[in-house]
Structure 1
């Protein structure tokens, strides 16, 4: 609806912020690079805007002419300017989301969909008098865990993130405070300095990123967001539930793969894992020490003015703080003693002294529970003696943070490929004389042999024998995991994930390796970590329910599941299944696998926890988390869910604390609704399932026909995208491919999707749908379209699938993609493949619009449509320049300035698209 004089333009503040930041960036370019550079960049900007907003073809030709004629140094300046603008636009958009959320709260609007308030309100309405008990049971047994992962297309530097945080805080200040003219001028000056700092901060890394660099990058989100915002979110839920004094279990936790994910990354070693835990512990303990220090300053309560508990007095008496100035301040003395114990804990765990020394010597805490007990003494004394309000501030958040993060900060998952486990187990069996050639055995013989090994406490590995480098490395990892358990507690490592799980023996092989490190102890019937299969390919997804059925039929394994609380986690791979079978088939096979797994687990009396290996992009299972969780089949979300957060999506979701808290809240709200308000697993109209299978079969054939069955397609892909440059530039710690060579099968799914996004084709997020729908409608000319429209209206799975495809198609630009196609040296190959892609895109768009009833892409998502309209004029020049840089780079190879410009363009396009990897 158009804004009228009485209807304020809600997006006006966003446009004002973007104009302000753009003007400050322009001023910075003029001051730093000169008037000529500024004039060139401004001409490019205006021409690009003219083309995008008015569909001016003359403007497009003018733009291409300007960009093609740029000299090398001009190219780098243009790429830098438009890349930084993408980052600044992201900051402005995030701030606008915060602004709009606050406006709704200030106006007393009804709770918005995706908020916890809305989810709790829906639960209360739907469940009536049963709601309190149902909610209590949900939070008792729930687990909601976003898991941070690193990958080859992570393109943000921590220094850049710090600059962006400063700019966001200054924009936030303008929103929340009524500034005087002098204060407003000072704010603009501060913004100008922040933009200048951003411009002069190196965007790229001079050397390839190490795993420890990735660990440090991930830790920045804990200090910025998680350590502070998770306790606030918990407090908000507790207050909303209105249960006086009740504290929720630590059901919402942040997981981590960085430092433990070895699949395809030879640089993750036992030493790296231990270093990662040391860095994590330093972050957690450092936060607690700072909070204790601040708490001591706040709790200046004096005897004679307040009553305190005997336990608090005893805690104060044990303190090393004997200052006469604080002799009547028991809380401060108690906190000083706790600080000294926590400082000793720092030394015991990390072997060094904390940044701020304690007042005296003290014994270290044996575990987080001891520290928590002392904090509880503070809490109970305040509550019991008329000062409960003081317990509800910093102390409440510190107590919650400790319960969530412990001394380890975040659990690190271990992950390795099943092929590696197989080779290691085979070598151990051979050297121990248990099996001459394990790898030649059939599945039944493997299972029998592995179960026999799991029944005995005897170890296979001997300290007196030499093993291959791979086997030594794998054994070292598991032994390091055991040491982490002893050092930080069992919460430090809770899951071991098996990539490319294909059969039962893959899980039993990992169990044998865990036994070698003492993480599985047969005589005690103890298993210290979850053995988690990861089903990734289309074939593996189809086989997943059967594999788990056969596994649970094995009594020794079933006993291990019982030891883990009758719960089994299963991870589903969105990325590789998409690369294997295309977007539509991947989504459908994942849906069917979840139904089959839920039925299998129910039959065996085992609780299912699904771990969704979603990427940021739609081509890797991405898209809005709220809709994705609610679109799960009935019975798939049983109060517990884990999902990966990857790449630039981590920065987009959690780089800003308020945005981060909102995204965490969305995950909880969706999990609660999917668990308590689901329809009990009733399937939609059976005809929908039949239709979906037919569409999947058609899309699968079209996708496989292009990607895997078209001669020369690998050459087309490697020449028309930035994949080879991603492989050689310093973008991540792991190789882009699992093996050397150009085979699509060996390429990691992340750079596969990222490369298609960079050239604005987004092919993994839509290819095959148009062909499938066209064929299906041809066979049902009378009622076919009406049937598909009903599927879209009534089935959330299908609606979410099309919504994500809508977003991807809107971000696609065939004209720009055609310029990348020109990089393919074989003209006949180029023309043949691009013609097929163009035709499929047209068919897919037409099918999507017909089914949804939209006139244009994103008609149903005006916010995203606006965002794309605002940012595409600034993305287009980056793409045009990137094509030219690719051409020059492939001609010269040794020009560092061209490499620099190319890398910056990759960064800028990823920032502009926001969910490209």
Structure 2
């Protein structure tokens, strides 16, 4: 019933509004774009009908040119196609803004997963004290990454922000003006953004979205569960930050960039405090209090412009002074406003978000090799002996004379203590190692601190291994066991409060092992590492490297975390978000607050509310393992198909990702010209499948595995698993979401292709098989039947971008056939790629 009401409301306040404002959009006087709004519906109809009757994208485009335009030359046609792309990009922004503005009306304060829902349920279950107990040492952390899955220029971001506000107010005049501005504002970065640009782009969200949304959510939790004997700790909701600190595969992130981004984060939070206190002073104008607030304001101003450094502790001390006067002399008037400001300072400190350092273990090994050779005059030692020897050296190494990457790695380590001094310990306290699969990968980093002149007790940093491949996940237990037994590392962990963060990579795991296998291996790795850590007296925190779509570990995040049973440590929920996930899930105050809330309650529910569906029985485990192994074999066979990489290289947009100028990082690891599977980054990999509307990493092998059991007459076992296990059910529903965003008719033309026809048919057969068997499993009549809002949103977005996909495929076919101006068609692919990335929120 609620589903039906919400679906109807969505139709009224999203679909209908889009129709109205889109018609306004169609008549706007853009340069040379006047008639695009009239032509676009024809291209949509030609595409829709054409694909249903088996036409190729080239047939469809040629029919469109012939039937609806009088264009003769290739140059004229190309010009029109670029204009259509620009127009569709702006339609996407309009739809995003309408959908975002509707968010508060489509969600209620007491929805499942909200703090209010948690409170009401804990009242009924008499578990309020357990919730408070859990809140004492629980936390959630969202880590923003600069992974290139979307990059609106900041000018477009600001229009988006204003457009949402105007749509909420139904101000036609303002909307009209903003749509005109949108039509004349460039969407494409002329050059690749620098890591600083990426950092500033996300700092915009910190200042104008998260400062308030996290502060307000903290107050809500405090008011709901707090009482005279329960103090809510201010580290409950944390922010992490990778742009400017993540140098994995990004040669443009240097020690200098890291330092500059740390300064920008500090400056941004001080500016937020300065604005906040300005409003506070309008109310707290009382004698004694006003003077203290003015002093804080002046100190902040001086600190923003670097003439002095203010610390969070100084601010808290002065606020407490003001609070005392307010209570004793002014009847505690407006004390809640002062406490709110005090909470913000405790939450965000002088760091705003924790800047992490990340680098690949192979680069670290190069550094160790070079430094060992320079120190001892030879390289005749095992990798383990090298870090052991360097940890014993008491001399600080002279970095002059080393090549850039070696020198920069060591300078980065040296300056960590300076950043901690400026931004506080929370400003930078983690070093993450990509591609960890051995003890040396962690100990090499410890050695960096020693050779940079740190004494053991000065290494105020958590060293975080990232296990992301199937091999890495397999080795995780033995690596951590050996580390926990290592006397040097044991002492380091003692100094760090016997807490170890372990990062697990969903994106690369899925790319490597397929959807079901990757999720199962990560689940098992978490169980094993939980048990191992407990045995060693270590509190383990899992940090999940997740992307937006299911193929990169995303999907329904609340359901995912709420489905993890008591065998997995639940000390903290920590995950990465990027690109469209920032704008679509955490893009404005209401959405951000709602989604932070969903994560927070998922972790608490997991511990407090008992549910047999969260804990897997031995029988269920055996079955999931069997399904995972069958699906892994199927996916591995696909990966080893001789056409796998050539298909992506020649038939998809993979080669064009690096040209979109949406990220500062190269789109593949390794510098060679030959493309190898292992060098593919997860984002362009998953994104290219998404652009083809095939979403292979999100389902391939899953349906096949279930079909194999069905052939053995065991489908009832799978149905019982779906009904009995929240974990398995979440995987199925997320996989169905991937399939719902697929559209194979777009590439029907490939089925008869001399080189790739057979490979395409393998993909199509698996899609059909997976779709049919998942519908049978769930009892649904359509994909995403259980989530009408998401299904409707996907449907409208797919409709908007269908002409864009036709143009993209048309350009790819022209390039493959060697017809026409190759450079122009390549540019067309890149531009349409950019539009599609932004359009299909969570595509990569």
Question: TM-score, structure 1 length as denominator?
Answer: 0.86
Residue 756 in structure 1 maps to residue 756 in structure 2 = no
TM-superposition CA deviations, 1:72-104 (whole Å, max 9, x none) = 111112112222212221222222221122xx4
Q: Which runs of 5+ in 2 are unaligned?
A: 72-76
Give the match for residue 113 of structure 2. 114
CA distance in 2 between partners of 1:31 and 1:496 (Å): 49
1:764-783, aligned counterparts within 5 Å?
764-778=697-711, 780-781=712-713
8 Å Cα contact 1:41-1:81 kept in structure 2: no
Q: 2:776 is paired with a residue of what secondary structure? A: helix
Q: What is the CA-CA distance between 1:729 and the residue it aligns to?
A: 3.0
| 8 A Cα contact 1:296 1:331, kept in partner | no
For 1:388, what is the secondary structure of its paired residue?
coil
**CA shift in 2, pair 1:198/1:637, >3 Å:** farther
- 8 Å contact kept, 1:498–1:506: yes
1:399 equivalenced with 2:356 (yes/no):
no
Q: 2:657 aligns with which of 714, 726, 736?
A: 726
How far did 1:46 drift? 5.5
CA–CA distance in 1 between the matches of 2:797 and 2:120? 37
d(CA) in 1 for partners of 2:667, 2:607: 38
Partners of 1:831 and 1:293 in 2: CA distance: 66
Superposed, 1:371-382 pairs within 5 Å as 371-382=315-326
SS in 2 for 1:264: coil
Kindly indicate whether residue 799 of structure 2 is the aligned counterpart of residue 873 of structure 1. yes
How far 1:3 sits from its partner (Å)?
11
Q: Equivalent of 1:89, from 95, 100, 105? A: 95
Superposed counterparts of 1:567-716, under 5 Å: 567-677=499-609, 683-707=615-639, 709-716=640-647
Q: 2:840 is matched with which residue? A: 913
Report if aligned partners of 1:858, 1:865 keep a CA contact under 8 Å in 2: yes
Task: Confirm or deny that 1:344 pairs with 2:298.
Answer: no
Deviation at 1:637, TM superposition (A): 4.0
Matched, 1:131 2:57: no
> 2:800 and 2:430 mapped to 1: Cα distance?
43
2:387 aligns with 450
2-structure distance, mates of 1:273, 1:61: 47
Aligned pairs (5 A) from 1:258-297? 258-297=243-282
Say if 1:48 and 1:59, in contact at 8 Å, map to a contact too.
no
Q: What does residue 193 of structure 1 align with?
A: 177
Q: Which moved more, 1:857-866 or 1:874-883?
A: 857-866
Deviation at 1:635, TM superposition (A): 3.7
| Correspondence for 1:228 | 212
* Equivalent of 2:292 in 330, 334, 338: 334
User: Could you tell me how far apart the structure 1 residues matched to 2:146 and 2:678 are?
Assistant: 21
Aligned to 1:184: none
Alpha-carbon spacing, 1:675–1:381, altered in 2? closer, same or farther (3 Å): farther
Q: Is the 8 A contact 1:68 1:884 kept in 2?
A: no
Aligned residue for 1:540, secondary structure, equals helix
Q: Which residue of 1 aligns with 2:676?
A: 743
SS in 2 for 1:642: strand
CA distance in 2, matches of 1:639, 1:660: 22
Task: Say which SS state the counterpart of residue 544 (structure 2) adopts.
Answer: strand
Distance change in 2, residues 1:872/1:365 (3 Å): closer
Instruction: Name the counterpart of 1:828.
Output: 754
Residues in 2 aligned to 1:336 and 1:865: alpha-carbon distance in whole angstroms: 52
Asked if 2 retains the 8 angstrom alpha-carbon contact of 1:87 and 1:908, the reply is no
Shift of 1:713: 2.1
Aligned: 1:171 with 2:167:
yes
Q: Is the 8 A contact 1:292 1:339 kept in 2?
A: yes
What is the distance in 1 between the residues matched to 2:352 and 2:3? 48
Match of 2:372 in 1: 429
**Structure 1 residue 20, shift from structure 2 partner:** 2.2
Task: Give the distance between the partners of 2:55 and 2:511, measured in 1 at CA.
Answer: 38
How far apart are the structure 2 equivalents of 1:3 and 1:229?
27
Q: Determine which of 192, 196, 211 is the counterpart of 1:208.
A: 192
Select the structure of larger CA radius of gyration.
1
Structure 1 residue 365: Cα displacement: 4.9
| 1:596 Cα offset (Å) | 0.7
1:80 to 76, 86, 92: 86
Deviation string, structure 1 residues 121-163 (Cα, Å, up to 9, x no partner): 333444x2x632x333322212210000012333322211111
Contact 2:14–2:102, Cα closer than 8 Å, also in 1: yes
Distance of 1:657 and 1:340 partners within structure 2:
29
Show the 5 A alignment for 1:156-555: 156-174=152-170, 187-243=171-227, 246-301=231-286, 329-348=287-306, 364-393=308-337, 395-433=338-376, 436-438=379-381, 441=382, 446-447=383-384, 450-451=387-388, 453-454=390-391, 456=392, 458-459=394-395, 461-462=397-398, 466-518=401-453, 521-522=455-456, 524=457, 526-555=458-487
Determine if contact 2:189/2:661 at 8 Å carries over to the other structure: yes
The answer to whether the Cα contact below 8 Å between 1:139 and 1:249 also exists between their aligned partners in 2 is: no
| Aligned-pair CA distance for 1:45 | 4.3
Shift of 1:274: 0.9
Query: Does the CA-based 8 Å contact 2:326-2:332 persist in structure 1?
Result: yes
- The answer to whether the 8 A contact 1:634-1:680 is kept is no
Secondary structure of the equivalent of 1:846? helix
Match status 1:846 vs 2:772: yes
Deviation at 1:515, TM superposition (A): 2.3
Query: 1:904 is matched with which residue?
Result: 831
How many residue pairs align between the two structures?
A: 831
Please tell me whether the aligned partners of residues 57 and 807 of structure 2 are also in contact (alpha carbons under 8 angstroms): no
1:649 and 1:551 mapped to 2: Cα distance? 35
Provide, for residues 341-366 of structure 1, a one-character-per-residue CA deviation record: whole Å limited to 9, x for no partner: 22222233xx6xxxxxxxxxxxx455
- What is the alpha-carbon distance in structure 2 between the residues aligned to residue 495 and residue 894 of structure 1? 50
How far apart are the structure 2 equivalents of 1:449 and 1:189?
A: 68
Q: Give the structure 2 partner of residue 837 of structure 1.
A: 763
User: Are the structure 2 counterparts of residues 902 and 604 from structure 1 closer, same or farther at C-alpha, using a change threshold of 3 Å?
Assistant: same
Partner Cα distance (1:60, 1:772) in 2: 33
Is the contact made by 1:570 and 1:608 (CA closer than 8 Å) also made in structure 2?
A: yes
Q: Which runs of 5+ in 1 are unaligned?
A: 106-110, 175-186, 302-328, 352-363
1:525-580: CA deviations, max 9, x gaps?
x5301010100101211221221112111222112111111110000000111111
1:791 corresponds to: 721
CA distance in structure 1 between the aligned counterparts of 2:435 and 2:56, rounded to whole angstroms: 49
Deviating more after overlay: 194-203 vs 88-97: 88-97
How far the C-alpha of 1:35 sits from its partner, in A, is 4.9
Specify the alignment match of 2:136 in structure 1. Answer: 140
Distance apart, 1:810 and its partner CA: 0.7
CA distance in 2 between counterparts of 1:2 and 1:288 reads 41
Q: Does 1:15 align with 2:15?
A: yes
Residues 428-472 of structure 1: per-residue CA shift (max 9 Å, x gap): 12211186334xx2xxxx445534543x46036136x62232211
TM-score, normalised relative to structure 2: 0.93
Partners in 2 of 1:598 and 1:285 — Cα distance?
Answer: 39
Matched position secondary structure for 2:425:
coil
Q: CA distance change for structure 1 residues 869 and 193 in 2, over 3 Å: closer, same or farther?
A: same
Matches within 5 A, 1:37-76: 37-45=36-44, 64-67=61-64, 71-76=77-82
Q: Measure the CA separation in 2 of the matches of 1:460 and 1:429.
A: 13
* Distance of aligned partners of 1:153 and 1:33 in 2 relative to their CA distance in 1, 3 Å threshold: same
> For residues 603 and 149 of structure 1, do their structure 2 counterparts lie closer, same or farther at Cα, with a shift above 3 Å needed?
same
Quote the RMSD (CA, aligned, Å). 2.8
Higher mean Cα deviation, 56-65 or 624-633?
56-65
User: Residues of 2 paired with 1:460 and 1:435: CA distance?
Assistant: 19
Q: Secondary structure at the match of 2:105?
A: helix
Aligned mates of 2:9, 2:135 — CA distance in 1? 40
**More displaced 10-residue stretch of structure 1: 480-489 or 897-906:** 897-906
Shift of 1:776: 2.3
